[in-house]
Structure 1
Amino acid sequence: MAHRTSFRVRFSEIDPYRHVNHAVYVSWLEAGRVEALEDAGMGLDLLQADGIQIVITAIDVKFKKPAVAGDVVTIETEVAETRRASSRWHQRVMRGEEVLVTADIHVGICDDAGRPTRPPEGFMHKLAALGN
């Protein structure tokens, strides 16, 4: 089941065209992933203590409809696939039932030196639980 994070669009996130700037969505997507990890008991502080870094290796964002100031948006986050040291995530930015943005994110797992590594035992199982 997808993890959900909701909030109201702030005026500071609006560009001169009176809608949310495209770069803001990438920050929102990151916030959705971080909250999903935290709620699954895998906060970034715990991962760092285990010497694990989660890094984005690719992101494909499709902008379908704009969000505007005052909208309440929901970031839906789910893990679509897990492998030994990587995963693929799917996220959507929603306004009610309307899909505003979709994103496919490829994530790698690295050690403190930035080298690909396998995560601690049980990590990928917890991550897979964020799937649909």
Structure 2
Amino acid sequence: MATHATTIVPRFGELDPYNHVNHAVYVSYFEAARCVALESADLALPDLSNQNVQIVVTNLEVRFREPATARDTLRVETELAERRRASTRWQQRIIREADEAVLVEADLVAAICDNDGKPRRPPPDLMGKLEALLAG
């Protein structure tokens, strides 16, 4: 699949005293963009929960390169880098649209769990739908 893109405009409450997006907010942006990408593949989180499936982040690495400010329009690019037996690996980037600068990058692993948080094998249709998000 091509990269899934989600546009985000920072809000006043997400800024620090220096008019930069607070570093913790980027994790929220990544989460929101993954949810939108999953919905684009017909994998909305409420529907998964109804099937006793959760996609739970187990590892997250974030690299900060440049700050975003209140006047920036941001594009969060999301790619499913790898499907494993009961987990997935994602790569994401936050790009300032004005100059295409990569501001923040994230690599994360998400496990497939049941609604009690116990690891489980994903239903076959879930892995098939994830195929639409697989990079390359």
Give the TM-score of the pair, scaled to structure 1: 0.96
Residue 115 (1) aligns with residue 81 (2) = no
Map of 1:99 onto structure 2 = 102
Separation in 2 of the partners of 1:84 and 1:31? Answer: 24
Deviations 1:8-64 (A, max 9, x none): 111111101220000000000000000000111000011001000110000000000
**Structure 2 counterpart of 1:11, one-letter code:** F
8 Å contact from structure 1 (residues 10, 70) kept in 2: no
Within-5 A mapping of 1:52-131: 52-96=53-97, 97-131=100-134
Query: What is the RMSD computed on CA atoms of the aligned residues?
Result: 0.9
Q: Where do 5+ consecutive residues of structure 2 fail to align?
A: none
Separation in 2 of the partners of 1:16 and 1:128? Answer: 42
Map of 2:30 onto structure 1 = 29
What is the number of residues matched between the two proteins?
132
8 Å contact from structure 1 (residues 77, 91) kept in 2: yes
Q: Where do 5+ consecutive residues of structure 1 fail to align?
A: none
Give the TM-score of the pair, scaled to structure 2: 0.93
Select between 50-59 and 116-125 the one with higher mean Cα deviation. Answer: 116-125
Separation in 2 of the partners of 1:38 and 1:46? Answer: 10
Q: Could you list the runs of 4 or more consecutive aligned residues of structure 1 that deviate by over 3 angstroms after TM superposition?
A: none
**Aligned partner of residue 124 in structure 2, secondary structure:** coil
